[in-house]
Amino acid sequence: MITESLSPLSQALTLPCGATLKNRIAKSAMSDSLGDGAGNPTNEQIRLYERWALGGLALSIIGEVQGTPHFAEKPGNLILSNHSDRNLFERLATAGTANSAQLWLQLGHAGAMADAPISTPKGPSALDLPGLSCAALSLDEILALPAEFAHTASLSKQFGFGGVELHAAHGFLLNQFLSPLFNKREDAYGGSLHNRMRLLLEVIEAVRNAVGPEFPVGIKLNATDQLEGGFEEDESLQVVAALDKTSIDLIDISGGTYFPGAASSSDRAGSGPYFLSFAARSRKKTTIPLMVTGGFKTLSQAERAVSEGNVDVVGLARALVVDPELPSYWLSGQHGEPQFPRFKNPPEGGVTAWYTMQLTRHAKGETALSPHDLEEAIAAYEIRDEARRRIWKSKLS
């Protein structure tokens, strides 16, 4: 039996910037849909992040925090800007760092996949596909993006968060620029991979200049979009090699997209963990710490991934929705494996909606949902988004 002191998960990890993660378990970014509809945190959200911190993880990442109201992924996203309610954000930062956990904000921009009712979706190139149409960003709009990300990163630091993660995965803006499917530009930001990663590298440089050398800056990167014509492993490896020359502190490897009809990691039921072979290939390209997110279900999977040497941090999303206290069980040697729900023929996006509503239950201190509540959960999720869209439009549009 593996004891606490021997578990590879219990070892601390010092990031290149000098910050330390107290162990190897992270809650990967989740869009929790718990913002108040006007971009500010709610008391329920603050309680949820405190609960996760008390549950023993080293790092918790809030998904899809926007710098402006114009390209949100959902109306429950947070917006961190000069108009934010500083007091609520500071309370969130304090609660989520209980128990020496770190709380980072994932800086998001949904681009072509921005929630159409509350935004005007724009990506690298105009698209008119079933379920996805958007205009193209102008060159001036692209040139403004690094400073926008940098400003949000700077506010994250000022408001007491421990770090930021740039969202370059799952089909959102920075991933769209990398993807030949979304990015058909013929200027310096499109065409060759060198050009398609230009925006990402400019954002990293601007963010680092804004936050200084000692503040953690991570990135979530798709190993593959798992989408025909999309961003694939060989190109992603070249991005990893380019990231190695930057001041990034943690590369969070994941995959899949929320492109209509595509496979997303959060809806996927297959046996994991996913992306480990990509992590092994990445290890040869970089010395930056690697986190892998996707499909971890058991303690032995997590321990094996770290002890094999290609993964420094295990990223968990759904496992920490099923059981927010899981890290403390795993680290104390009590297995306490999470009991994952199984769904029969869920509709696209249905599993992610169920998990999002389960988060709401935790945040409110209510009893857990059962897998049989799938339809009810999807309906409640949609009704809440509609209500939030009304608030968003009245206060922010």
Ligand X SMILES: Cc1cc2nc3c(=O)[nH]c(=O)nc-3n(C[C@H](O)[C@H](O)[C@H](O)COP(=O)(O)O)c2cc1C
Question: Which residues lie near ligand X (CB under 6 A)?
Answer: 28-31, 63-64, 106, 167, 169-170, 220, 254, 265-266, 272, 293-296, 316-319, 352, 355-356
Cβ 206 to ligand X, closest distance in Å?
A: 20
Q: Which is nearer to ligand X, 58 or 316 (CB)?
A: 316
CA geometry: angle 71, 72, 76, nearest 5 deg: 165
Q: How far is CA 74 from CA 71, 134, 159, 382, in A?
A: 9, 16, 23, 11
Q: Which is nearer to ligand X, 183 or 264 (CB)?
A: 264
Residue (29 or 79) nearer to ligand X, CB:
29
Torsion sign, CA atoms 385, 375, 260, 316: positive
Name the residue nearer to ligand X (CB basis): 190 or 230: 230
- CB of residue 167 vs ligand X: minimum separation in angstroms? 6
Residue 23 or 356: the one with the smaller Cβ distance to ligand X is 356
Distances (CA, A) of 49 to 39, 206, 320, 349: 17, 28, 11, 24
Cα–Cα dist 190/198, whole Å: 9
Which region, left, alpha or beta, applies to residue 314 given φ > 0 means left and ψ of -120 to 50 means alpha?
beta
d(CA 57, CA 74): 26
Least distance to ligand X, CB of residue 366, Å: 17
Q: Would residue 66 be called left, alpha or beta, if left means φ above 0 and alpha means ψ between -120 and 50 degrees?
A: beta
Closer residue to ligand X in complex, CB, 76/124: 76
Quote the least distance from Cβ 266 to ligand X, whole Å: 3
Q: CB nearer to ligand X: give 23 or 254.
A: 254
For the CB of residue 217, give the shortest distance to ligand X in the complex, in Å.
Answer: 15
Q: How far is the CB of 63 from ligand X (least distance, A)?
A: 2
Shortest distance (Å) from residue 132 CB to ligand X: 18
Rounded to whole angstroms, the Cα distance separating 277 from 307 reads: 14
In the numeric block, the tokens 């309680």 are attached to 47
Three-state DSSP class for 361?
Answer: helix
Q: Which residue is nearest to ligand X (CB)?
A: 63
